[in-house]
């Protein structure tokens, strides 16, 4: 939906005449098990057109007489059901503690006990800091553009519009790139989930049937079930699946820890640090597990007291501290228990002869199957918003066809790349290093380029250059090593 605006330069920034801002509540999380409730804003006695099929009404920007002082976006957020600090913390934990936790022991296998522990906390701190600068940039841009809230992609667009003049023309491109990588990331996660489910089911079936069916057959067998579940268009009917998935994952992890802590070997029996050539695999897997930046703006936009999100200690710091500690614990003790035999999902290492262990695998498989539907919702929304305008009376039929085609594509990709460890690392290296590290640094750099500037000794410039460099190195090396791992896994 386009809006006509009259732009006039004001202190180096293009200020728009009264425009309509959208709440991007569907900007879902990377490697998350959360679906946010759509909070509707007050209509402010103005017409309520819908933007690109969004279920969230548009909000009128304050009139000129309200603009006499500094604009406070938080005062203009009209939410019917704002979330409390406790609610937001719970949502952050739910959104970050996803299936990636099952892959952390494999990450440690590609790093070593000591290096993996240190690097996990380091990557967690860097990811948390990148969320900080993204949210801070969003707050600043909301004040400059005089809008109540911005989604992840809209933050990038607004940043380029508020930056140097020559970057204004690139604002639509910046927004499109965020949405593109979100779609690629979440589609990649869906493919990983298919492999997760199939491998866990295959192990259980083989024990009791004494058969050895190709893993790809299990993936294809999942296709009809995936199609049926993902024809559900209403988020309301998908939300209960999130609760079931969380309960199953929680119970499964408790039982997994029960097995891990039985007869733990000495730390001296494991590598404290492995060969540097394996580090990129660790980076990709750890980023896949830890990075939850996609859900951040939705959480912050729905808070009753959004200033508490990045405060000290703040919701973000508290939540991420818990998340990083849990991921580091699972990775450390999982690798300590199983060593070089650690598999892509820690559940695959559990005893094949014990019924309780087999129940864990089924629980994990069901939980991840439900999580697929929740992850699928976001990329489908982004894609459909850009396609729906081309269809008229048969729009509903076309949407169902697109949904089916997208599910089929994820299964085809999973069948083509059944190497779980390499696949996870590849998704983390390609998508999440860009979304979680590079893009936030670029947004921060562009947002504050002119006001307040780069600071003494250009510290802001060098800080963001280091973040972009770190993300780029992880992107290139992680992708390269992951692809080699996938190829070697296929040939072996």
Domains of the chain (ranges; CATH) run: 85-488 (1.20.1740)
Please tell me whether residue 55 adopts helix, strand or coil conformation: coil
pLDDT at 223: 92
Specify whether the CB–CB gap between 128 and 317 falls below 8 A.
yes
Single out the residue of 344, 337, 364 nearest to residue 204, CA to CA.
Answer: 364
**218 C-beta neighbours (distance < 10 Å), count:** 21
Please tell me whether residue 14 adopts helix, strand or coil conformation: strand
**What DSSP designation does 33 have?**
-
pTM assigned to the model: 0.75
pLDDT at 489: 65
Q: How far apart are CA 89 and CA 86, in angstroms?
A: 5
Q: How far apart are CA 94 and CA 361, in angstroms?
A: 20
368: buried, middle or exposed (CB in 10 Å: 19+, 13-18, 0-12)? buried
394: buried, middle or exposed (CB in 10 Å: 19+, 13-18, 0-12)? exposed
pLDDT at 75: 77
pLDDT at 66: 41
Q: How far apart are CA 363 and CA 369, in angstroms?
A: 10
pLDDT at 441: 93
In order along its 492 residues, the chain shows pLDDT tens digits of: 444 444 444 344 434 333 333 334 334 333 333 333 232 333 233 333 323 333 333 333 344 334 445 777 777 777 777 778 787 887 777 766 667 788 899 899 999 999 999 999 998 899 889 988 998 998 899 888 888 888 888 899 999 988 888 888 999 999 999 988 888 888 888 888 898 899 889 988 988 887 888 889 999 999 999 999 888 877 667 767 777 887 888 888 889 888 888 888 888 888 899 888 888 888 888 887 776 666 677 777 777 888 788 877 888 888 888 889 988 999 999 999 998 888 888 888 888 888 898 998 898 889 888 888 877 887 888 888 888 887 777 888 888 899 999 999 999 999 988 887 788 888 888 887 888 889 999 999 999 988 787 878 888 899 999 999 998 988 898 888 888 888 876 544
pLDDT at 95: 66
**Any long-range contacts for 174-181 (C-beta under 8 Å, 24+ apart)?**
177/439, 178/152, 178/153, 178/435, 178/439, 179/153, 179/382, 181/431, 181/434, 181/435, 181/439
60, containing H or E segment:
strand 59-60
> Between 420-427 and 459-491, two packed helices, what is the crossing angle to 10 degrees?
160
* Tokens read off for 485: 């791992």
pLDDT at 490: 57
27: buried, middle or exposed (CB in 10 Å: 19+, 13-18, 0-12)? buried
């Amino acid at each position: 939906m386009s809006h006509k605006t009259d732009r006039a330069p004001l202190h180096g920034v293009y200020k728009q005449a009264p425009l309509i801002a959208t709440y991007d509540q569907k900007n879902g999380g990377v490697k998350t098990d959360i679906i946010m409730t759509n909070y509707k804003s007050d209509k402010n006695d103005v017409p309520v057109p819908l933007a690109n099929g969004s279920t969230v009404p548009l909000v009128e920007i304050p009139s000129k007489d309200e603009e006499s002082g500094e604009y406070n976006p938080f005062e203009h957020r009209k939410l019917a059901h704002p979330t409390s600090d406790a609610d937001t913390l719970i949502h952050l934990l739910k959104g970050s503690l996803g299936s990636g936790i099952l892959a952390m022991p494999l990450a440690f296998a590609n790093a070593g006990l000591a290096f993996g522990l240190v690097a996990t906390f380091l990557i967690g701190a860097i990811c948390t800091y990148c969320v900080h600068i993204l949210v801070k940039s969003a707050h600043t841009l909301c004040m400059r553009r005089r809008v109540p809230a911005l989604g992840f992609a809209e933050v990038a667009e607004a940043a380029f519009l508020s930056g140097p003049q020559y970057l204004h023309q690139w604002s639509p491109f910046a927004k499109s790139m965020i949405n593109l990588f979100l779609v690629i990331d979440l589609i990649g996660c869906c493919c990983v989930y298919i492999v997760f489910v199939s491998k866990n089911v295959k192990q259980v079936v083989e024990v009791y049937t004494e058969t050895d069916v190709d893993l790809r057959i299990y993936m294809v067998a999942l296709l009809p079930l995936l199609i049926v579940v993902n024809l559900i268009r209403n988020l309301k009917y998908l939300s209960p699946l999130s609760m079931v998935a969380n309960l199953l994952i929680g119970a499964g992890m408790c039982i997994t820890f029960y097995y891990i802590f039985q007869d733990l070997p000495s730390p001296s029996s494991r590598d404290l640090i492995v060969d540097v050539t394996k580090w990129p695999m660790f980076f990709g897997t750890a980023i896949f597990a830890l990075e939850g930046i996609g859900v951040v703006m939705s959480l912050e936009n729905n808070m009753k007291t959004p200033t508490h999100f990045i405060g000290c200690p703040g919701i973000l710091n508290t939540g991420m501290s818990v998340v990083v500690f849990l991921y580091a614990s699972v990775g450390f003790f999982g690798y300590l228990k199983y060593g070089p035999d650690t598999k892509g999902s820690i559940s695959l290492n559990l005893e094949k002869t014990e019924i309780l262990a087999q129940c864990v695998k089924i629980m994990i498989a069901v939980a991840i199957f439900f999580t697929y539907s929740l992850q699928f919702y976001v990329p489908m929304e982004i894609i459909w918003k850009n396609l729906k305008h081309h269809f008229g009376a048969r729009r509903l039929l076309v949407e169902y066809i697109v949904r089916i085609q997208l599910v089929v594509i994820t299964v085809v990709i999973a069948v083509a790349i059944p190497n779980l460890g390499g696949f996870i690392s590849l998704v983390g290296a390609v998508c999440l290093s860009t979304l979680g590290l590079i893009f936030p640094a670029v947004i921060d750099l562009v947002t504050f380029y002119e006001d307040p500037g780069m600071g003494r000794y250009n510290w802001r410039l060098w800080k963001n250059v280091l973040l972009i460099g770190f993300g780029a190195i992880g992107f290139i090396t992680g992708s390269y090593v992951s692809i080699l791992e996938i190829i070697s896994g296929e040939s072996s």
